[in-house]
């Protein structure tokens, strides 16, 4: 999906909500566990109930890899079930040098047809560059994450006084463009968004951490919105695990609708 199509979906739905599909068999409704493919059935019902309220879905690949071949099968079926006008994010946090990155890109962009993939930039340009060679696909680079450990390295100041996350932003912006590169910025760092927007005013930011992790949607929007909205706000647990009963999809829709209604005021 290109930038124009993504912005069109955002404006059409008055939403910039991404729903994380971190599907855990230990947390899904028990009545699904006897089915042949409970992971896919859970995802299918969540998607069917919420696809008109969100503009993206983000499966975290670890929740599928842990189940081996059946997990990958469920992931592929999930990808095929997501409507084509919805942006898809492989939350895989991959990246390696040379042809290894190319193979990762082929797996997620060609085999499973994701629109984007999350990447770590630690190994430099030759680990991210191969992902930028695929037309209509996006590299979403980790810059400032929402977890407590983000302070271990990302906030560390370099000799020039610049925090490491800022160096990541500035350097990665030279590798791609705002047409094929996004950045992960955690919602728990809302005070940083003004400076981040000064550095990269036009790039989309994938923002995890709203909801269960304590991020504040209103504050993120206040400091992080740009002329094209420019934010993809991810919410996972508060939506997909709103209920463990037979009404889980209905309750997920209710929670997604609450977030979408909050977002509607920015249009």
Q: Judging by beta carbons within 10 Å of its beta carbon (0-12, 13-18, 19+), is residue 188 exposed, middle or buried?
A: buried
Catalytic residue chosen out of the listed positions 93, 106, 219, 258: 93
Half-sphere CA count of 207, side-chain side, radius 13 A: 30
Nearest to 240 by CA among 15, 3, 17: 17
Q: Are 256 and 54 in contact (CB under 8 A)?
A: yes
Helix (H) or strand (E) holding 185: strand 181-185
Query: Does the annotation count 93 as an active-site position?
Result: yes
Cα–Cα distance for residue pair 235/196, rounded to 1 Å? 21
DSSP state of 60: B
Q: What positions carry a catalytic annotation? A: 93
């Amino acid at each position: 999906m290109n930038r124009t199509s993504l912005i069109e979906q955002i404006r059409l739905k008055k939403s910039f909500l991404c729903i994380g599909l971190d599907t855990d068999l230990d947390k899904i409704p028990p009545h699904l566990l006897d089915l042949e493919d409970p992971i896919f059935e859970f995802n299918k019902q969540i998607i069917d109930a919420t696809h008109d309220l969100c503009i993206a879905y983000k499966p975290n690949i670890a929740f599928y890899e842990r189940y081996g071949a059946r997990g990958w099968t469920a992931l592929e079926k999930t990808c095929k079930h997501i409507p084509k006008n919805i942006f898809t994010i492989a939350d895989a946090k991959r990246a390696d040098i040379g042809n290894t990155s190319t193979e990762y890109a082929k797996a997620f962009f060609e085999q499973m047809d994701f629109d984007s993939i999350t990447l770590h930039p630690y190994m430099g340009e030759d680990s991210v560059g191969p992902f930028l060679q695929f037309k209509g696909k996006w590299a979403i680079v980790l810059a400032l994450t929402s977890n407590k450990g983000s302070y271990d390295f990302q906030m560390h100041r370099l000799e020039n006084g610049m925090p490491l996350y800022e160096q990541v932003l500035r350097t990665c912006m030279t590798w791609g463009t705002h047409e094929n590169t996004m950045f992960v910025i955690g919602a728990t760092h809302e005070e940083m968004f003004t400076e981040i927007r000064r550095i990269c005013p036009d790039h989309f930011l994938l923002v995890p951490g709203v909801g269960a992790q304590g991020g504040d949607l209103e504050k993120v929007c206040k400091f992080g919105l740009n002329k094209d909205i420019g934010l993809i706000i991810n919410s996972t647990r508060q939506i997909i695990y709103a209920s463990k009963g037979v009404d889980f999809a209905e309750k997920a829709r209710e929670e997604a609708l609450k977030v979408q209604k909050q977002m509607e005021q920015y249009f």
